[in-house]
Chains A and B, each alone.
Chain A
Amino acid sequence: MTSVAEAAAPTSGEPRMAGLRRFVRRNAWVIGLWALLGALLVFTKLIQPDYGPAAFAILAVAALPYAFATAGQVMAIIPGGVDLSLAAMMALTSVTAAVLMEGQGEAFGIVAVALVLLLGLGLGTINGIAVVVSRVPDIVVTLAFFFIWEGAALLVLDSPGGSTAVWLRELVTGTLGGSFPLADLGQWIPKALILIAVAIGIVWLPLRRSRLGLSMYAVGSDRQAAFRSGVPVQRTKVASYALAGLFAAMGGLALTMITGNATPLQGPYLLASVAAAVLGGVSLAGGRGGLVGPIIAVLILRLARQDLTLMSVDPNVAQIVEGLIMVSVVLLGAVAALRSRRA
């Protein structure tokens, strides 16, 4: 498919067509993911003819913490690392948010959100500094922090509890509905989806164009070459882990917002974030991929899970199937990484 497009490109005379072809070629993976998501939505509609805005809103809410976890994981993977402490940071920030907002007024919610986001940045910075200073591989350092942040979460709150501001809960539930100019379309746009787009866009869009963003890709594709061309490798590493921490804090906040309280135990977000990153076209070897693909991949994986529920598969069996899907995605990703290294 790709090779056909490549072969055809030089022969096309019209520049606009060539531009379109280049766009298709560059974004073939993301376009494929959109098609897969579309096909899955059609399949969902077939097995459940009354699948409507309400069910789609539930999907978006379910995808919320996964989307932030995946965005954080991508930040760590692009410069050639991986963040195993991500789900633990989500648990820690989630309980911190819930404890901060316990018994406080509605307005304090803004302060709590700001504090928790700062906490996430701080946790991520600590991860990054530890990686740089200890000279131990990323995967081992973040494994140690997996346990450290999990322990910290247990210290903040040893059993599920805390609470959240009402407006934060309302921020994620339901759809835009009538407040959108076209009410029919507004019904189909869940608030959670807007939140994903806005929160990730605010960080990612400026970052992608910035010097730091470029450095992250440079370090990921060839650390040695990046170092020799004057890229501050260590600072880039720390910054990328700080961003991963920031997204983890957003994920933690999302968890608190959805459930209204928080639990110190880690959710299944670590493996899910790696699987969605891989499915979204991010190379585990680093230096390749963006954020659009992984976010669509999150929606695909969540929709697959929702379909299992709609087909009234036993929830435990559904967990097995979901686990197997993720394992196969990671297996395929590893094979792809192996091929690209050989090529």
Chain B
Amino acid sequence: MTSASGSVAATSRAGPLANLRALMRDRPLIPLIGLLILLIVALEVIRPGIVNELWLSNLVKFAIPLAILAAAQTLTMLTGGIDLSAGIVATMSAFVMATTVPHIDAAIAIPLSLVPAMLAGLASGIGVGIFRVHPLIMTLAVGLVVEGFLLAYQRFVLGTSAQVPEVLAWLGTGRSFGLPNSLLLFVPLALLIGFMLRRTGFGRLLYAVGDNERAARLSGVRVWQVHVALYVLAALLAGIAGLVYVGLIKATTLSLAVPLLLPSVAAAVIGGTSIFGGRGGYGGTIVGALILQVLATMLTVLQMPEGTRRMLFGLIVLGVTALYVRVTEER
């Protein structure tokens, strides 16, 4: 009798849990969008009238650089890596661009500023792919060296006044037909990333390497080439994020995009990309970036200090990862 009721209770408890498990594994976007809507409703309840067209467009405007930076994290996390140099690499692109614009045309300065970013990515890729250093340690180290170069470069260009070209300011802050202009860059970019992950060989290789690197290697994948290409691509995305962000902020400092690093990791983690590799996608990351942006607004409205924000984001990363370990674990 007791054992029978116990087993009934166990199955009824396992039912919804199994459903949730299946939902989070197969369609992570549905619970995520639900959470996003829930947070926006909660924000409207806390501060009635805050949610309007202008607020939404600002939300999107600030979420876009974060989502581009989080794309770098998503791609590296698919192979079981991470890019801790993304924040400083984004800053480097923005800073190099802003200090070369007074001397050369913006049309040259903007692509030129992405070159040092890609070199940093190349260094990370070589360390991870060829020397087999853990990506976390390698990108941390590359970030430190990049910071050193940036400090030296800053002294070199001390006399130059930094400028943000019109085109980036237009892209970062402008609106056309009520929609932020940065969508013009972001929508094609996001589609391209989505296409790359789902439809191209390189995208499938990222999943294969992240899922089982040994199996990928034994099936003839040159894993080191995948890593090198991946980290260069991630750094390029970080550089683009930096350029969009400086267009939005319109002030260049040496710590411009550094505070975006933690949210970029958190956005990818919340979006359902496994930090252990092999599972996830870019759609979830975009929703993750929006969720974090709404959360940041909420914390500002509640007048939480910066320290609380960081602690909360850290707890989110830990909690969500632990949840995904339990939900998707096959037993």
Contact = CB atoms under 8 A, between A and B. Distances in A.
B53 to A, nearest CB: 33
B318 A331 contact: no
Contacts of A316: 148, 151-152, 154-155
Given A139-B136, A327-B142, A147 B314 contact: yes
Consensus secondary structure, chain B interface: helix
Contacts of A268: 144
B134 interface: yes
Interface string B192-210: 0000000000000000000
Contact of A327 (B132, B145, B314): B145
A314 B132 contact: no
B95 to A, nearest CB: 14
A141 interface: yes
A319 B148 contact: yes
Interface size class of B (residues with CB under 8 A): 35 or more
B318 A330 contact: no
Nearest to A146: B314
B140 A145 contact: no
B94 interface: no
A229 B132 CA distance: 31
Interface stretch (A38-46, A152-160, A179-187, A292-300): A152-160
A238 to B, nearest CB: 16
Interface in B298-320: 305-315, 317-318
Contact of A148 (B133, B138, B154, B310): B310
B144 A147 contact: no
B321 interface: yes
Contact of A334 (B134, B140, B265, B321): B134
Interface stretch (A2-10, A11-19, A129-137): A129-137
A323 B138 CA distance: 11
B322 A330 contact: no
Contacts of B142: 327
A140 interface: yes
- 9 tightest Cβ-Cβ pairs between the two chains A and B: A151-B310, A154-B307, A147-B314, A151-B311, A155-B307, A144-B318, A320-B148, A148-B314, A319-B148
Interface of B: 82, 127, 131-134, 136-138, 140-142, 144-145, 147-149, 151-152, 154-155, 262, 265, 275-276, 305-315, 317-318, 321-322, 325-326
Interface of A: 84, 130, 134-137, 139-141, 143-148, 150-156, 158, 264, 268, 270-271, 274, 284, 314, 316-317, 319-320, 322-324, 326-327, 330-331, 334-335, 338
